[in-house]
Chains A and B, each alone.
Chain A
Amino acid sequence: MLDYKDEWLLDMGGMMEKNLEQYYDPTSLYARLRLAQMKRAWKKENRRKLTLWERTYLPTLVSGVWLTSKHFFYNLMFHILHLFGLAKDVKAAVTYQYPEKPRPLSPRLRTRHRLTKRADGSPRCVACMMCETVCPARCIEITAAEHPDPNIEKYPAEFIIDLGKCVYCGFCVEVCPEDAIRMDTQRLDIAEYSREEMIYNKKRLMED
């Protein structure tokens, strides 16, 4: 129901009831849109007029420059202290010096894929094609082959992910029954000179 605590609703309360609550369910989409429209109109009509002092732009100018200058002098002071090796624990900037010192990433973040391994170093993947099937970007291509161990049916002779197409949705990880593919390498900066180099094969995916 409508909340009559708002100043603007109190102001136009009568009209509201007549227009809305009598004929429409106030939680309906129409009512909500109409409500928003009326609120905009009310705000436009009842907009506070700026005083002459405010219209000279001076108060906003002074308060704005005051704010930025506070940041400026605070940061300048600590940058100078850092130059002399003092107050190193106070940060004067939020910048990360990226290629040298990458930003800390959340462990849950979906980053570049890797294929997990068994104890003997072979891939855990059983070439069930679940990830290839679920992939919305169709960037996974598995070539299955028969595994010499009779307990394991198949293994991927080749496992290709085209990272140029991948949308990092993580469906392949969700769907994998063998926990054979993970997206936890914490590598985001994937850049190559050609599209071919963006295609990762089994060997590259198992490197880490």
Chain B
Amino acid sequence: MMSDILIKLFLSSGVLFVMFNIAGLLTWVERKQSALMQDRIGANRASIFGIKALGMVHAIADVLKMLSKEEFCPQGANKFLFKIAPYLSFVFALVGFAAIPIGGELIVGHHSIQLQAAHLNVALIFIFAMMSMGIYGVVLAGFSSNNNYAFLGGVRGAAQMIAYEIAMGASIIGVIMVFNTLDLQALVRAEGAYLFGGWVPKWGVFVQPLAFFLFLTAAAAETKRTPFDLPEGESEIIGYFVEYSGMKFGMFFLADLIETVLVSSLMTTLFFGGWQVPYLHADGFYFPWGAHIALTNLPVVILGVVSFFIKTSFFIWLLMAVRWTLPRFRYDQLMNLGWKILLPASLVNIAITAVVISLFNH
């Protein structure tokens, strides 16, 4: 019992540690990636004893700057809500990671450890609940600031996130129907099956291609970044966190990046086989042309974790690339896309999936 608690503690703190660091690193990635796209160099000045580490020191410098800045609370603001809003945004973005399976089943001695901080049988619903709770951070920040621009930003944010939350939820129902489970670990395990005589892995993207594109769009909107950055609109339309300064602003900023990671890992899990490596089974590779490489449990699990991180990194890269490529949508375009294209398309997807599944079962 004690060892189980210790294992869980170790696992969850490990996930938390990795996610914090990835979010911090993403500030660097975002700067450098946008710089390379635009033929620039990007942040490269901050240094500790002459070590610049390709500008990575800027992430530390930014945090130090934000921590040492004044925490301003505007006159007439609702102080309690104003102070709690960034934490809500931040915590709910972070909690979602608990249910993401980062690896398969690791066997240490007589213990079998699922590499998932919280092994929930309703993991998918849990993650979506937590992501929906993130809206409260946005709404409360806009509402409590006693600033009309912040308020409008919060309203825009709420409208957008509700619109895309529904499309997002509807788009994954097809995936749930195909794999018949809400448990993400079981879902990833089910994705280890193969289609077309063992050549194509049964990943979500191959059985639910439309759902993948819908989810990708809705997920980009969910992270509140360009082209869907209407709630924030850093420079022109002014978003819900105008009145925030110091680390409270930093928390909103980090919450966005953490949501980017969360959404990317969710995309990996649902549509790209999570920690599955093609043709890798519990005891080694079985290639469809008949070759076999035997592996023990530990390398299989490590390969799985590595593949999960590679896939997640790809989606983070993709979301960043989209964020630095497309201009912002107009508000009516945004609402049209959400309610008139994504939602009907995801409903159609559910209907088609249902028909196909019932045909196959008969």
Contacts and interface: CB of A to CB of B under 8 A. Distances in A.
A56 B341 contact: yes
Main secondary structure of the interface of A (DSSP, over half): helix
B33 A93 contact: no
Interface stretch (A28-36, A70-78, A117-125): A70-78
B14 to A, nearest CB: 30
Given A56-B341, A72-B33, A94 B325 contact: no
A57 B33 CA distance: 23
A76 B324 CA distance: 16
A19 interface: no
A76 B321 contact: no
Interface stretch (B35-43, B79-87, B200-208): B35-43
Contact of B325 (A56, A68, A93, A97): A68
B41 A95 contact: yes
B359 interface: no
A75 B36 CA distance: 6
A62 to B, nearest CB: 10
A79 interface: yes
A79 B321 contact: no
Interface string A89-116: 0001111010000000000000000000
Contacts of A71: 36-39
B337 interface: yes
B37 A72 contact: yes
A103 to B, nearest CB: 14
A75 B39 contact: yes
A13 interface: no
Contacts of A67: 325
A185 B41 CA distance: 29
Contacts of B37: 68-69, 71-72, 75
Interface string B38-71: 1111000000000000000000000000000000
Given A68-B321, A69-B321, A93 B326 contact: no
B39 A64 contact: no
Contacts, number: 45
A156 B322 CA distance: 63
A57 B340 CA distance: 14
Contacts of A97: 41
Contact of A95 (B33, B40, B326): B40
Contacts of A65: 318, 321-322, 325
A93 B39 contact: yes
A61 interface: yes
A164 B318 CA distance: 48
Interface in B322-344: 322, 324-326, 337, 341
A72 B337 CA distance: 28
Q: How large is the interface on A (under 10, 10 to 19, 20 to 34, 35 or more residues)?
A: 20 to 34
Contacts of A76: 36
Nearest to A95: B41
B322 A93 contact: no
A4 B321 CA distance: 44
Nearest to A96: B41
A68 B40 contact: no
A68 B40 CA distance: 12
Nearest to A63: B325
Interface string B292-334: 0000000000000000000000000010011011100000000
Contacts of B337: 57
Nearest to A79: B36
A64 B325 CA distance: 6
Interface in A36-84: 56-58, 60-61, 64-65, 67-69, 71-72, 75-76, 79
Nearest to A64: B325
Interface string A154-165: 000000000000
A82 to B, nearest CB: 11
Contacts of A60: 326
A61 B326 contact: yes
Given A56-B341, A61-B326, A93 B321 contact: no
A75 B341 CA distance: 36
B215 to A, nearest CB: 14
A41 B341 CA distance: 30
Interface of B: 33, 35-41, 213, 318, 321-322, 324-326, 337, 341
8 nearest A-B residue pairs (beta carbon): A64-B325, A75-B36, A68-B37, A95-B41, A68-B325, A93-B41, A72-B37, A72-B36
8 contacts: A61-B326, A65-B321, A67-B325, A71-B38, A72-B37, A75-B39, A92-B36, A93-B36
